[in-house]
Structure 1
């Protein structure tokens, strides 16, 4: 009969399975081996495990594992996490990123904090309830491609699954419940002008000079949005826009024929991405309307909306009681808004620290393990028994 390894061995095996997702196809991997391993463990514990490949990407999949309830099952709790990691900095780790290492009370390995480390803790918490009658189902959910496209979460929304009343997304929050975060979109603006000999400006149309006007329009729009939208619940209480990189031209003595600017926008809750992107397009087109150039805007990925869960909801209040911390906000984006879109009350709550995420020598502090397991036990008891 198959057995489920202990918590530390689970984490060791999960870390050992590379599941990098990246926008660079040379670095991008699948996560199928990770979800298959989780499914095997959860089926051994009595869960019904469903592996759902992403459309057109059979090497990437979501996992929905359900421990059924004896009651009507119209509610339920989801313990959710993503199985992919970001790429790693080869040569900058003190140890192999795919081998779990314990040093000074810390567990080092790629994904320990963000966020493979959440799954063994969720499984450990679940074991307490295997011989108890559940009033509502308990679901462990594992997704693909959170670090890049959110394709796993988007596929779940399209399928309308899972069906539940509450969800906990185990991203690294340092054992503090998070009830809201900013959204994100990344955009590219490409200007196509006409190259020519720099000795005579009439021979061309400079894309770089037109880009100067585009940047001015972006900074003006940013200032307007920051004047119109504030939320004191965030450390940075306004929406942000970062002009991240720009490329254009090829030689000093040629009029620049094309240029591209890439930037990100992080809106507050209540700022719909579709509306913001529409306003961006209008403003930027207007900024170069008198120039002899063409302007094209495109999204670098389908953005993620901002997230907010009513802090007076039963889920938030229960999490605050179990953790001893008032619910707060974070600036990074998660899969939480996708669960909210399906009508699921959601919080973000996990054992790791965001400062460790995406860094060499990523680690999870061992002192976080038992407190997180206890918090998850309390949530399961509240919403499933």
Structure 2
């Protein structure tokens, strides 16, 4: 079967829904997208390996496609899933790639199914060229939810290469560092009772007030302790995201729950942060007599940094004409980097188009993206 052209490839990828979500209502397999990519890469002469992600029931898969052999090489990586969508807010069918005003509209067009046809187009130029080092195209599952695909690769220690580009939408600006993220839930069990006599219960909402105050104090402490001028917001952030508690004005609140996120900068460790938070929560529990527990909502992403003088950063800067920068959003970069590769985040499109209706990739960035990847392949595979 002949390899489809770039637009047709993205058209087919967008038409194959692959939402990942913690909600069973939304969550979908990504296997059809993986199998589609494998078919095209087989056609180009890549050796393809479809790996089922543990716990995914065969519905969730990663793809490792390799052209050439050797101990080094270049990985072009991306995730195959998308976030959920509000179809009533779209001006076109989110699963039909639509061209308008020099933009290609579709769910995942920029975040980040659009990277795969661009990577394949770049690879096509070298399909008949003997490579000194391998070119690997890597496609993962569930980046938008649990990052289970990236976790599985990190645990497996595979693939092995020397350099990796993760094609998240950055406007073709090389990104060499980003903040981490952890999402936590604090639950307080107090004692309900009649509000006319506070002694009849132990108010979980009042204890949560202390917890929130302590978390905000902790935030100030972290921002005084950690600072990186390479980020637009130079310190870590902690956001109190949502709270639920109680059931009636005339009852002492017996249960309260708070969810928050914390975005660390390089040099901070998520597990150490959790331990420090637990120590502070335990002191409040002892003081108030309520039961306080903390639960991690998902495994989190470590903060990530690639040295400014790395060969990959310098090559990407030279090819794009853009200086390396940072972003506040998290990616799979730290997991790929943990495999021993110099790693950057760089791809076409802009993050402000992601996760919203009428997502699009600007056509003006497609050819420059292809040429940039070709330049990286020449440098690191030839």
Instruction: With the length of structure 2 as denominator, give the TM-score of the two structures.
Output: 0.99
Instruction: Name the residue aligned to 2:26.
Output: 27
Instruction: Name the residue aligned to 2:146.
Output: 149
Three-state SS of the structure 2 residue aligned to 1:21 is coil
Instruction: Name the residue aligned to 1:223.
Output: 220
> Which ranges of 4 or more aligned residues in structure 1 deviate by more than 6 Å?
none
Instruction: Name the residue aligned to 2:232.
Output: 235
Instruction: Give the CA deviation at 1:90.
Output: 2.1
Three-state SS of the structure 2 residue aligned to 1:302 is strand
In 1, distance between residues paired with 2:340 and 2:138?
Answer: 16
In 1, distance between residues paired with 2:19 and 2:265?
Answer: 29
Instruction: Give the CA deviation at 1:290.
Output: 1.4
In 2, distance between residues paired with 1:372 and 1:267?
Answer: 30
In 1, distance between residues paired with 2:318 and 2:73?
Answer: 20
In 2, distance between residues paired with 1:251 and 1:106?
Answer: 51
Instruction: Name the residue aligned to 2:159.
Output: 162
Deviations 1:256-310 (A, max 9, x none): 0000000000000010111011101111111232112100000000010000000
Instruction: With the length of structure 1 as denominator, give the TM-score of the two structures.
Output: 0.98
Three-state SS of the structure 2 residue aligned to 1:264 is strand
Instruction: Name the residue aligned to 1:68.
Output: 68
Three-state SS of the structure 1 residue aligned to 2:300 is coil
Instruction: Name the residue aligned to 2:120.
Output: 123
Instruction: Name the residue aligned to 2:274.
Output: 277
Aligned length: 381
1:313 aligns with 2:315: no
Instruction: Name the residue aligned to 1:140.
Output: 137
Instruction: Name the residue aligned to 2:16.
Output: 17
Asked if the contact 2:68–2:130 (Cα under 8 Å) also holds between the matched residues in 1, the reply is no
Instruction: Name the residue aligned to 2:299.
Output: 302
In 2, distance between residues paired with 1:47 and 1:268?
Answer: 37
Three-state SS of the structure 2 residue aligned to 1:226 is helix
Which of 355, 367, 381 aligns to 1:358? It is 355
Q: Which runs of 5+ in 1 are unaligned?
A: none
Asked if the contact 1:22–1:87 (Cα under 8 Å) also holds between the matched residues in 2, the reply is yes
Instruction: Give the CA deviation at 1:123.
Output: 0.3
